[in-house]
Chains A and B, each alone.
Chain A
Amino acid sequence: MENESLRILFQLILSGFIVGSLYALIALGFVLIYKATDIINFALGELMMFGAYICYGLITEFKVPFLPAFLLTLVFSAILGILIEMLVLRPMVGEPIFSVIMITIGLATLFRSIVGLIWGHDVYHFPTPFSETPIDLFGLSIFPIELTTSVTVLGLVILFFLFFRYSHMGIAMRATAFNQKYALLMGINVRKVFSIAWLLSTVVASIGGIFLAGMFFIHTNMSFIGLKVFPAVVLGGIDSIAGAMLGGLIIGIVENLAGGYLSQLFGSGIKELSAFFILVIVLMIKPYGLFGKKEVIRV
């Protein structure tokens, strides 16, 4: 009996980790842009969805096998990210932040509508090469695609850590995020930094979207997951890459634990609400999130 309870606990944590990996990817996409450009991108969920549909279109319409379709999608996303930065956001430099936010909301609606026009609003099965046979992981069950997602996310954490710590562009991005003016003065090509930030963000969103679609079907409402980015980044610290990703993982785990242990007491809503509860509690103890930096502006 005790073994059973333990198994359930760990299965819930594992489920939370799997979903949390997706949240971590969105959070990563969000913080990449926010850190480098100070822009709050409300279109992340839609960018995830758009990336997934591009891949879906390549596989189903053009009969491209999965791996080439996946890579092609990343290329398209990279181009899309740069285009969005150059054509939509660069003209907005100097405009009030509210207008910039509204533009990202407008982009979100645009992507949803385009996808709806081309593919309709139905739910489709997203073809992946992953087997449907569950893998046994120390007595717990996990689908191959779920394992791949989690491993990919961990890989991306390490990759981005190395990128920001040791690569030229990574350090340039951190410098730009710290202080744009000084970065410019140091000769950093800030425009290039912005483009790279959007490129990376859109690519990461597409990766997330493809995995999300592979696990939970592809449909236009999958963009709703974008809302989860806010508890994740505020929890982890809105300007910390590692923090945001950890925030995503924590939110996923908390949701599933809450759903698992509290839903009978409080109803199903507790699952989604729990993320926000944790958020409030953490912020009361650590107002800048778990890893955010305290910014003291001396007047």
Chain B
Amino acid sequence: MRKKMNRRTFLKYSAAASATAAISGFPTILRSQGEIGVTSDSIKIGVISDLTGPTAIAGIGMADAIRGYFNDLNEKGGIHGRKVVVIVEDSKYSPTLTVAAAKKLISKDEVFALVSPWGTEPTEALLPLVAEQKIPIAPACSLATSIYEPMKKYVFAVGTDYVDQSLFIVEYIMKDLKAQKPKIALFCQDDDWGRDHLKGLNLAAKKYNLDPVVMESYKYDAVEFKSQVINLMKVKPDFVILAAGLRSGVLFLKEAQKLKWNPTFIGTNTLGFLKTLEMAGDAGEGLLVLNIFAMPDEDIPGVKRMIEVTKKNFGDKWMPANEKIHPYYIYGWINAIVFAEGAKRAGKNLTREGLINALETLRNFDPEGLMGPITYTSASHGSPGYVRMTKSDVANKRFIPLTGWKSVSR
């Protein structure tokens, strides 16, 4: 027969149980005096990025930019006296790992909001969790229309989406280059990113009475793209839009050069890395690239400030700025600006609902000149697109703006 528990043991166990309950209930006690992730002197935010996966070079930049921005902001006093605490998790660009990271940030770290989670597919995977937990993604780091169309209460998007980018490219071809009945082809990835570009191109093609766009796509982990190059070459297009990553885009250009095929190549924003020019060599000559953010070599106060803060926080890691700082670094920085503005406008009594309402008051908000003005309303959490076309300058390692900022309407 089991020995009966004596009173001392019983008291010992009860004490342990009560202590555990008290400790686990402690945050609730703290929290019940304010919003989750917000204390009297701090705001906790979660940043999920690709730090070791296939797009790590871009993801590391995005995370560093956000960290640098808030370090600087905290030195200046933070937001209404609260310092912003940035917690970064690695997602390796995987939707599954992104959701796992978000769950950890939500339940263990109890963050106030998710800022700039990396990638289209991963962010799409977060949407159900975010709606259930009522935690803002403020803002997202994805340019796919699925992120904000139809509108999601807790999700904001920054940056010109892929459909608008494609519309602009065709506008540029027709209006600026004054092309006569051009034939357009598209090389893109086989996912929503690629499909958005095809959609935009075909919308514009219809508007201008052009032939439907011929598309060749590729799987993310493909070894080579030779047959895609040959297929598009067969069609004899005047313009080939490269909605591709660094590797796929550059390999496409090199293979085309090998086959002595010389249409006009136009890259979307994902090819706006200086590295594209380095790796493509003279296959990148004449490449036009769409640009949606300011470039690090531009003489704009916002850019200069960003570079100064970067140098202060990371030393030489991102120097020389005009070579190392890339569009996704700037994207992260802009996302940080937008979050900070929303939190500021929400006031001292910071809540998640308050943040949402505050962001919806942004009208033509200028993110320190780093991109076109941002407007949100209670009916739209996606900002109208601003784009410009640039041309690659291989010799001087930069992209030269060919147009001013143009706004695109659908």
Interface residues in B196-233 (C-beta closer than 8 Å to A): 214, 216-219, 221-224, 226-228, 230-231
Contact pick for B54, options A121, A256, A267, A272, CB 8 Å: A121
Q: Kindly provide the distance from the CB of B326 to the nearest chain A CB, expressed in whole angstroms.
A: 11
Interface stretch of the complex, out of A72-80, A156-164, A216-224: A216-224
Q: Is A99 an interface residue (CB 8 A)?
A: no
Cα A122 to Cα B231 in complex, Å, equals: 29
Identity of the chain A residue whose Cβ is nearest the Cβ of B227 in the assembled complex: A259
Chain B interface category by residue count: 20 to 34
Residue contact B228 to A19, C-beta cutoff 8 Å: no
Mask, A246-269, CB within 8 Å of B = 1, is 000000000111111001100111
Whole-angstrom distance between the alpha carbons of A287 and B17 in the complex?
64
Q: Chain B residue with minimal CB distance to A4?
A: B234
| A22: B residues at CB distance < 8 A | 223
How far apart are B195's CB and chain A's nearest CB, in angstroms? 11
Q: Which chain B residues lie closer than 8 Å to A15 at the CB level?
A: 224, 226-227, 230
| CB-based contact B57/A268 at 8 Å | no
Chain A CB count within 10 A is highest, among B223, B246, B257, B275, for B223
Give the dominant DSSP class at B's interface. helix
- A124 and B221 CA atoms in complex are apart in Å by 16
Known: A132-B281, A269-B219. Contact between A12 and B230, CB under 8 A?
Answer: yes
Identify which of B214, B230, B281 gathers the most chain A CB atoms within 10 Å of its CB.
B230
Chain B CB within 8 A of A35 CB:
no
Judge whether A8 and B246 touch: CB under 8 Å: no
Choice from A141, A212, A271 contacting B227 with Cβ under 8 Å: A271
Q: In the bound complex, do residue A259 and residue B219 qualify as a contact, i.e. CB atoms below 8 Å apart?
A: no
Contacts of B226 in A (CB 8 A): 12, 15, 18-19, 256, 259
> Given known contacts A19-B224, A121-B56, A221-B54, is B231 in contact with A134 (CB within 8 Å)?
no
Minimum CB–CB distance for A209 against chain B, Å: 12
Contact partner of A269 (CB less than 8 A), chosen from B57, B190, B246, is: B190
A11 within 8 A of B: yes
Do B219 and A219 touch across chains, with their CB atoms under 8 A apart? no
Is A143 a contact of B258 with CB atoms below 8 Å? Answer: yes
CA–CA, A144 to B246, complex, Å? Answer: 23
Contact A216 B52 (CB under 8 A): no
Q: Complex: how many Å from CA A260 to CA B275?
A: 29
| CB <8 Å contact, A141 and B260 | yes
**Set A116, A217, A272: member contacting B222, Cβ < 8 A:** A272
Contact status B219-A122, CB under 8 Å: no
Is B348 located at the chain interface by the 8 A CB criterion? no
B49 to chain A, nearest CB (A): 13
Cβ of B57: which chain A residues have Cβ within 8 Å of it? 120-123
Q: Which of A199-257 contact B (CB under 8 A)?
A: 212, 215-217, 219, 221-222, 224-225, 228, 255-257
Residues of B within 8 A of A222 (CB): 223
B53 at the interface (CB under 8 A from A): yes
For the complex, give the distance between the alpha carbons of A271 and B228 in Å.
Answer: 10
Within 8 A of A (CB), among B257-271: 257-260
Residue interface bits A103-126, CB-to-B below 8 A is 1, else 0: 000000000000010001111010
Answer whether A8 and B218 are a contact pair too, CB < 8 Å, given A125-B278, A141-B258. no
Whole-angstrom CA separation of A142 from B234 in the bound complex:
18
Contact of A260 among B230, B251, B254 (CB under 8 A): B230
Is there an interface contact between B219 and A264, defined as CB atoms closer than 8 Å?
A: no
Assess the B228–A263 pair: CB atoms within 8 A.
Answer: yes
B247 interfacial contact with A, CB 8 Å: yes
Contact (Cβ within 8 A) A263 B216: yes
Are B221 and A221 closer than 8 Å at their CB atoms? yes
- Cα distance, A271 to B281, chains bound together (Å): 28
Q: Does B300 contact A (CB under 8 A)?
A: no
Q: Is B279's beta carbon under 8 Å from chain A?
A: yes
Q: For A12, what are the chain B residues with a Cβ–Cβ distance below 8 Å?
A: 226-227, 230
Checking A217, A225, A260, A267 against B231 with a beta-carbon cut-off of 8 angstroms, the contacting residue is A260
Inter-subunit contact B190/A259 (CB<8 Å) = no
Closest chain A CB from B189 CB (angstroms): 9
Cβ–Cβ < 8 Å partners of A19 in chain B = 223-224, 226
Within 8 A of A (CB), among B231-252: 231, 234, 246-247, 250-251
Residue contact A125 to B279, C-beta cutoff 8 Å: yes
8 extra A-B contacts, CB within 8 A, seeds A134-B258, A217-B247: A12-B227, A121-B56, A141-B259, A141-B260, A221-B221, A258-B227, A268-B218, A268-B219
Q: Which B residues lie at the A interface, using CB under 8 A?
A: 52-54, 56-57, 190, 214, 216-219, 221-224, 226-228, 230-231, 234, 246-247, 250-251, 254, 257-260, 275, 278-279, 281
**Lowest 10 A-B CB distances belong to which pairs?**
A259-B227, A15-B226, A268-B217, A121-B56, A134-B258, A260-B227, A122-B57, A256-B227, A224-B221, A123-B247
Q: 24 pairs across A/B with beta carbons < 8 Å?
A: A11-B259, A12-B227, A12-B230, A15-B227, A15-B230, A19-B224, A122-B56, A123-B247, A123-B279, A215-B224, A219-B247, A221-B54, A256-B226, A260-B227, A260-B231, A263-B227, A263-B231, A264-B231, A268-B216, A268-B217, A268-B219, A269-B190, A271-B219, A271-B227
